[in-house]
Structure 1
Amino acid sequence: MQTLFSVNSFKLVLLALIALLALVIWRYSSVALTGEPDKPRFMRSLAFTLSAVVFTLISNHLLLFWLGWLAISLALHQLLLFYPERPRAQLAAQKKALSARLSEVLLAIAFTLLYLHFGTANISTINTMLASAPSSLILHSAAILMVLVALLKCAQLPLHGWLIQVVEAPTPVSALLHAGIINLGGILLLLFLPLLRCSPIASFILLVTALGSTIVAALVVSTRISIKVRLAWSTVAQMGLMLVEIALGLYTLALLHLLAHSCYKAYAFLHSGNAVNHYLAAQLAEQAHPRARHWLVSLLLAVALVSLTQQVLPLSSLSSAVLLILAITVLLVPTLQLADNRRPARVLLALVYAIGLLILYFSLKTLLQPVMPTPHSVTLAADMLSSVAFVGLFMLTLLLRYQSHRKSINKVFIWLNAGGYLDEWTTRITLKIWPYTAHTKACHKVPALQEAK
């Protein structure tokens, strides 16, 4: 049994996360689906999906891991089609199924290559041998295939459309998908880190693809109004950023990102019913657009704060410092835009809050360091590319928000609002491969869950 299943500190952290998400989503589902005739079917599918995730995570054999990977997709498919009479749900599930089958084939080929190269299917043994194995064509091929599987599983552009459209499923399914299952691509790479380190080519493909997906998805978020659609696009962007961190070698940061994103998305989807109230409250609040000097002062304060932090607790890369500076800048700007006698107090409070967030960030990162250590050096070219991309994303977001009335910016806004029309050609290819036929179902019941668009 020790050769078939294994648990280490990394897996224990993930198992704790799964247990927390399972408890919250299960309780929410049991209440939200009260009066739903098909509730037992939903709960069975949910239990099977969660069991498949745990089985896959603790598997220490390539075949068992692959079978668990397949079981997760099949179980999730049943949840996505809980209301099979919805045409959009059918199409989204069909696109998800094709993407899943492709990822499963690619993962099977990668596992076969590893088995043929090392002569064993034990994952722990393979990772140990990879640590000292010289680079070879087989290892490069297996690493590239793993990267492609991770990109597919994390719904990176252009094969992202199914994730945006599965909001047709009940809210607990969206929470389970966006808070848990979508992370499997990153978990796969973190489990096979020695393989990724053997192939700079695979890391480069991962960096460029995930970075492009992050930028486009994050810009699309700023153009959308629907709460659940915004959350779905946000997931694409966040998964892309997590994959960028893995490509850069920031493994501890990637694990912290994974945990934080899971908790946030579970809360965001299960709490999405109150989004209308928050939107109305924001509309009633006094609106004031920050000026250039507000952004400049906020940026300078953020740079000073991160620079002081760097003297005490050195950051592992330039790109991580840039992300922290931009995040703190966005936090400080609202405190400066209103010129009244309470502004100094607001700025001071925001600075204290930012310091608290930095302390929390470094504390959690320190706690996770033994679980997923980060290499001492990050490739300079990749670090610079990511930093420039993050700054460019920040500037483009500001232009879209405050200069969308300009003709050139408005054209970009429209293109982004349509998702870059990337999903249209993917849908056409999907329908050519697997022609779609809407299945109607005579419904004598009123669904207990009504999804807000």
Structure 2
Amino acid sequence: MTSPMPTSLTPAFVLAAPLLLLLVGLIPAAWANARPRTMARLSGTVAWLAFVSAILAAIALPFDTAHAWRFFSIQLPGNIGAFSLSTYVNSVTVIMLLLVSFVGVVVTRYARNYLAGDADQGRFHKWLALTLTAILTLIVSGNLLMFALAWMATSLSLHQLLVFYGNRPAAVFAAHKKFIASRIGDLSLLVAVFLIGFSLHTLEFDEVFHALAAMHGPVPTALNVAAMLIAVSAALKSAQFPFHGWLIQVMEAPTPVSALLHAGIVNAGAFLVIRMSPVMSHSELALGTLAIIGLVTLALASLVMLTQTSIKVSLAWSTTAQMGFMLLECGLGLYSLAMLHLVAHSLYKAHAFLASGSGVDAFRAPAIPYAANEFRIGRLLGALVIGGAMTLAVGTAFGITVTGEPALLAAGTIVAIAVTQLLLQSAGAISGGALLLRGLGLSAVVAVAYFTLHALFELLLKGSVLPVQQAPGTFEYALALAVIGVFLALLVLQQLLKHNPAALGEGLYMHLYNGLYIDVYISRLLDRVWPSPRLQPEAEPTPFAPVNSHGG
């Protein structure tokens, strides 16, 4: 396939995105706060330029293979390779570059109005630009050590946004918990990088990919350990069980930060696994561990989400569940589905958070009346059979078979359950058969759209990820059955919580509302090991503070 533009332009467009935002991030905070309107306009303009650069990079890239460019290199001791300033561009790079730069444009524009009049508005835009710079640098990095350093910079710059309101105890404590989890994840990734360099004697992504694609049979122990450490780092970045509590509690940060976190940064765990697929695909243990962690997380978060009364907290639990689902897909070796999920979730969640303030309007809007508030097992089974048959028919039409592929069997079952949920909503309406037929049509559209997008992303990621190397064995089939069983159980429990919460008992409902208290124990443990920084005394109200003359 011939590139419509000279290939030499690709690295220029790719690097322009983070470099433009870096220029804004380097502006001193005092200057930025003194000129908030100028800083807001400058930040928005640069965010748009970064997005345009990402579009031009996508146009300039020939999608036939990956491309790497090195600009500066320093050989490291121990024959582990070199640290280089380089860029590695393939379809994964371009997709993520377009996604993050677009979300950056939306969040930056929203923050301009959201923080208008705030004394620290300029400082906020400075750290927002630096955070976006770190994420984009992570995406385009062509060297594993450069990648790890950008990974660290992402969480460190985000920390400044999470504690933007430093006088809020809940915000400081949640950011501290995330800080600890991030440092453990950073250390895990850094050790994994050096183990990869020790085994393959290179730290360049393109060379690692080619070396591992040509490797057959058992891999060195160091690479298996590296794969496990990558799984740990991804799970911590994506707020997985049992260290998921910080993601729920960072709602004290400004809403644009929540949107950026949930729509971009927390997805970095899945991006890490996809980018490191050459290493991960050789380790059955690491992928299996990742799948189990993701499955446990999504099961817990999916149920807890339904008991929440706060819109933003419910969205946070939804993100936790979606991250678990995403890492489950990675653990099953379904990298193209995970990438599709990542893109869809980022766009949806950015919109959901930025529109959360008007969420109450949904409760005032006219609603379609539903039938009696009761759980019917017959209706559930009927919808499940129809949804399963519809999914099987559409999947077969797209040439997808599950013979010898337990991961695809599990994925197909999940799609069937999703279609079942749509059919149950239509069947529960009083309006009659017309709405049910509309529900059947919508379900067919959803199934067709899902398999169409799956095929598209499978084509886009071909050659950019390394498929799982081992043939499926007993563990893979057992894991697929476990996934199917968990999703079927979640379908039943979610219907019970929706139609008859009392059926689960008031005690269980309350326990779910509190997240089964898992985060309470984690918080106590972390506070003993690494206590949270305390607020300055003057930031906390005291009973002896005099009342001013205006009654304030």
**Which TM-score applies when normalising by structure 1?**
0.92
Equivalent residue pairs, number: 440
Stretches of structure 1 that go unaligned for 5 or more consecutive residues are 444-453
Residue type of the alignment partner of 1:391: L
The yes-or-no answer on 1:261 pairing with 2:345 is yes
- Give the alignment partner of residue 441 of structure 2, picking from 341, 348, 352: 352
- The C-alpha deviation readout for 1:62-114, integer Å capped at 9, x for no partner, is 22111111110111001001110000000011111111111111111111111
User: Do the aligned residues in 2 keep the contact of 1:5 with 1:58 (CA within 8 Å)?
Assistant: yes
The yes-or-no answer on 1:423 pairing with 2:519 is yes
Give the drift of 1:334: 2.5
Give the drift of 1:282: 7.0
- Give the alignment partner of residue 232 of structure 2, picking from 148, 171, 186: 148
- Give the alignment partner of residue 492 of structure 2, picking from 376, 392, 395: 395
Residue type of the alignment partner of 2:517: Y
Residue type of the alignment partner of 2:385: L
Give the drift of 1:411: 2.6
Give the drift of 1:319: 1.3
Change in Cα spacing, 1:212 to 1:400, as seen in structure 2 (3 Å) is same
The yes-or-no answer on 1:217 pairing with 2:284 is no
User: Do the aligned residues in 2 keep the contact of 1:294 with 1:337 (CA within 8 Å)?
Assistant: no
Change in Cα spacing, 1:358 to 1:284, as seen in structure 2 (3 Å) is closer
The yes-or-no answer on 1:128 pairing with 2:210 is yes
What is the RMSD of the two structures over their aligned residues, measured on CA atoms? Answer: 2.0
- Give the alignment partner of residue 377 of structure 2, picking from 272, 276, 292: 292
| Secondary structure of 1:5's aligned partner | strand
C-alpha separation between the residues in 2 aligned to 1:308 and 1:8? 33
User: Do the aligned residues in 2 keep the contact of 1:110 with 1:142 (CA within 8 Å)?
Assistant: yes
- The C-alpha deviation readout for 1:360-417, integer Å capped at 9, x for no partner, is 22222222112324959763332222111211221222233334324x5333222211
Q: Which moved more, 1:42-51 or 1:284-293?
A: 284-293
The yes-or-no answer on 1:367 pairing with 2:456 is yes
1:25-424 equivalences in 2 (<5 Å): 25-133=107-215, 134-281=218-365, 288-289=372-373, 291-313=376-398, 314=400, 317-339=408-430, 342-373=431-462, 379-406=476-503, 409-424=505-520
Identical pairs, percent: 37
Give the drift of 1:208: 1.2
The yes-or-no answer on 1:21 pairing with 2:103 is yes
C-alpha separation between the residues in 1 aligned to 2:313 and 2:87? 38
Give the drift of 1:418: 1.1
Structure 2 equivalent of residue 447 of structure 1: none
Q: Which moved more, 1:57-66 or 1:329-338?
A: 329-338
User: Do the aligned residues in 1 keep the contact of 2:370 with 2:429 (CA within 8 Å)?
Assistant: no
- The C-alpha deviation readout for 1:314-348, integer Å capped at 9, x for no partner, is 25512112111111111112222244xx4221111
C-alpha separation between the residues in 2 aligned to 1:137 and 1:345? 60
Give the drift of 1:31: 1.4
User: Do the aligned residues in 1 keep the contact of 2:298 with 2:322 (CA within 8 Å)?
Assistant: yes
Residue type of the alignment partner of 2:388: V
| Secondary structure of 1:439's aligned partner | coil
Change in Cα spacing, 1:110 to 1:276, as seen in structure 2 (3 Å) is same
Change in Cα spacing, 1:284 to 1:381, as seen in structure 2 (3 Å) is closer
Change in Cα spacing, 1:311 to 1:367, as seen in structure 2 (3 Å) is closer
**Which TM-score applies when normalising by structure 2?**
0.76
Residue type of the alignment partner of 1:298: A
Residue type of the alignment partner of 2:379: H
Give the drift of 1:2: 1.1
User: Do the aligned residues in 2 keep the contact of 1:318 with 1:383 (CA within 8 Å)?
Assistant: yes
User: Do the aligned residues in 1 keep the contact of 2:267 with 2:323 (CA within 8 Å)?
Assistant: yes
Stretches of structure 2 that go unaligned for 5 or more consecutive residues are 1-67, 71-85, 403-407, 541-552
Residue type of the alignment partner of 1:384: L
Q: Highest CA radius of gyration, 1 or 2?
A: 2
Question: Greater relative contact order: 1 or 2 (C-alpha under 8 angstroms, separation 6 or more)?
Answer: 1
Residue type of the alignment partner of 1:61: N
